[in-house]
Structure 1
Amino acid sequence: MLSFRNDILPLKDKLFRLALRITMQREDAEDVVQETMIKLWSRRESLDTVGNLEAFAITVCRNTALDHVKRAASGTVSLDEGMTLREGSVNPYDKIYAQESLRHVNSLMLQLPEKQRACMHLRDFEGKNYREIADIMQMTEDQVKVNIFRARKAIKSKMSNCQ
């Protein structure tokens, strides 16, 4: 039997990070996660047939976030709200430099096509393997690899042009 507390609620952080990457607004991402969890819980009887609940939840969240963005059709904000650095950096200059670099990478990711941005997020920020990303994005593993390669190449190119 599916339990909200044990099966669905633990996915909220991963869903939030994905929703935030797509919506680019904390409040919208929270709404998307809440809507996703409601959708999942309302379908709890049929979720027993789902092979991978996490992949299914991420797919629902991704589609919900994309629908939300299409409906809103508004500008975006920086992702750096609430993000902090690792504790290893003590020097204030290093912290400021790292925060600026993070803002720059986030702004470059905003310029990527949606598929590239989503694939890169799932791989580099969520730690998913190619097979999992292919299942979530409903594409082949080769397509996932190509999208990640192109996304990384575009970001590296734009970063080197700025230096």
Structure 2
Amino acid sequence: MSANHTYQEHALLLQLVKGDENAYRQLFISHWNQIYQVALGFLKTPEEAKDAVQTVFIKLWEKREKLATVENFDAWLFIMARNTILNILKQKATAASNYNIADVLPEDYLTPAMLLEYKQTTGLIREAIAQLPPQQSLIFRLSREQGMTHPQIAHELNIAPATVKSHMVRALNNVREYIRKQGGHTLIVCWLLIKSLS
């Protein structure tokens, strides 16, 4: 993510703290697909994934005053999305077992332990990318760090778009496998990998 993008997002967050609906809309447009894709991967149905996204953004609006003190919005949003998805999964499990268990998952505040887990998984992803074959690593980095689309990468490297897609699929599989072997947190990995491709 570029420094300019980070600065623009921080400016949007400050506007959102003041109740700016346009800033809220821009953040929604920027992040809804990332949350939806992760939610869909775990909840399995588009309806539940859409409900999860809606819940996350309702909570974001309700807790907007706290954003002024948030140093890492992506990690904060991840924790909120993670807790929302886990709550939905837990509700499904308790409904299936006819238990009426109160919600005991932690609030979506970014605790030091959660931030450490997020940073450690980010580090594992960097390690995994460093171990990719050169062409996969280059294509992955162009997509992730420069925000280039597959057609743009294909044009830049003078290769077919299908070749770019093939390298990206293999790169993602290699990264996931590396993280799995290192014991990384699956939900964080999904979040960060989807973020890198959106």
Q: Using structure 1 for the length normalisation, give the TM-score.
A: 0.49
Bigger Rg over Cα: 2
Which structure shows the higher helix fraction? 2
Q: Using structure 2 for the length normalisation, give the TM-score.
A: 0.41
